[in-house]
A and B are shown apart, each in its own frame.
Chain A
């Protein structure tokens, strides 16, 4: 049991983070807190991807043919998930940017970021 927990702790952490993010997005009343929840949700997936690329005892994936005549893939960590996550980070930053712009617009119109207060105004 302990071995399972310690052997797969990277997945455990990602599951905990994604649930925290999901809770924030769905249950929080303040729109800014929803946005923070959304960010935690996105970053947890990025952590998940990064952790699947690493290997025990693996090194930086830069191959020097003069030092290593025969390349053994086991010696290097997998760079692909990390490169993918560079793109995903850019996507995350762009999402946050648009969300903040929208929040500024909402705040200017309603003077608040509490969802129930905005819905109250909209009902009238």
Chain B
């Protein structure tokens, strides 16, 4: 049974998304428990296959349909994607439980079965992108994830369909660019398997077709992970998406994109190629520096809490890019660790904002006055998430930034280190402004008092509080056990040759 875990991670949510849709048409109540059951099963599968990797110390290979690798599609779980898979499983399970009351609030009842079906399809795509060892299979699963994202965002308020359409134009551009890159690699090598490509590519580095292919691949991934100059689709679409959708999409999608970038740069291509022969990583690092500064300043300028968080996602992508740019062990440790931490930090922050929007009836920073009295748990969650994004020990955000800065210093890239510090400083300004609003400012506006009085009647459901509290605990635990995680998992996850 454990042999099939790596493929079940994708098969179970895929099949249950169709079943949820079909049975949901007759009995709407089965949708939520079925979704949670499927995601819980995924957590068992991903944790189980990661455990196999940890105990044996070797990657798990699964050949789909029994076809041997260069011809058939291969699913691989190693240290790197085992970590990412487990993180996706935890965050998506908590997001699904959290979303329940918000779904009832934001989505019309007749749309519940398609909503849960799309939710599962989204998770299928994310799991598949992470677990696959085949370049073309990755494209297909990337598109599955993207389609469900377009449809889910289109369910949102006001201009959401328009934002979703713009996202779709950008997203298709990215996916097509990735597909074109795979085509160039296929022309040069005749293979689509990642491990096989790595072997074949070594003698033909510097062939022009290969360089063009890599450029297309990176452009496509950059669009999907909202890397700085091509992040334009992200703020609108994630802000206008329903809260129950953004709590799933915002923490996971861009981070899985970042994982694919690390995979392509350091596993499909040899690290010596990406770092020294053709300084791809250094270019990514410099672009990331510009991205961190730009998006931090943009985040400062936002009055809308959710929109501000959307710009922060772009900043976090920049941090990961800086670690890749450093191109050494501490830098990459920081990138991988930050990728994991960010899923939990952003998950927590978006849960808090979703709860604030639903019960406090506001999303502006100026409207947060007195939040700690009406919603103490949410305010505390906001503080934990915010401090972690700033990088305050012992929360997880501190440790990943620590490794990132170590990496930048070791690579003697002072601008990278400077951008990391300046970005953290700007984040501190950002969040302390919010904390001040939540905790210290006396409410003086009569309209505001009225809203605050209304909140007390509208209590938060346990289904919202518990996942949020668990997520906050996970953010703290990730920080406390960071040494253990880095030593036992991430140290092995760094591709050989870095």
- Residues of A bordering B, CB below 8 Å: 22, 25, 31, 34, 38, 41-42, 45, 48-49, 52, 81, 84, 87-88, 91, 94-95, 98-99, 101-103, 105-106, 109-110, 118, 122
Contact = CB atoms under 8 A, between A and B. Distances in A.
Contact of B143 (A38, A52, A91, A99): A91
A102 B173 contact: no
Given A38-B169, A84-B136, A95-B168, A105 B161 contact: yes
B90 interface: no
A49 B176 CA distance: 12
16 contacts: A22-B173, A25-B169, A25-B173, A38-B169, A41-B173, A52-B183, A84-B136, A94-B143, A95-B143, A95-B147, A95-B172, A98-B147, A98-B150, A98-B168, A102-B154, A118-B159
Contacts, number: 66
B32 interface: no
User: Interface SS of chain B: helix, strand, loop or mixed?
Assistant: helix
Interface in B108-160: 136, 139-140, 143, 147, 150-151, 154, 159
Contacts of B136: 84, 87
B3 interface: no
A48 B172 contact: no
Given A45-B179, A45-B180, A94 B147 contact: yes
Contact of B164 (A94, A102, A110): A102
B294 interface: no
B431 interface: no
Contacts of B453: none
B165 A103 contact: yes
B168 A41 contact: no
A121 to B, nearest CB: 9
Contacts of A110: 162
Contacts of A99: 165, 168
Contact count band on B: 20 to 34
B255 to A, nearest CB: 23
Given A84-B136, A99-B168, A42 B176 contact: yes
A27 B175 CA distance: 20
A70 B159 CA distance: 63
B439 interface: no
B172 A38 contact: yes
B154 A105 contact: yes
B187 interface: yes
A120 B179 CA distance: 35
Contacts of B139: 88
A79 to B, nearest CB: 12
B186 interface: yes
Nearest to A14: B180
B63 to A, nearest CB: 17
A88 to B, nearest CB: 7
A48 B183 contact: yes
Nearest to A122: B159
B161 A91 contact: no
Nearest to B161: A105
A101 B176 CA distance: 21
Contacts of A101: 151, 154
Nearest to B175: A91
Given A25-B173, A41-B173, A52-B187, A102 B168 contact: yes
Interface in B162-197: 162, 164-165, 168-169, 172-173, 175-176, 179-180, 183, 186-187
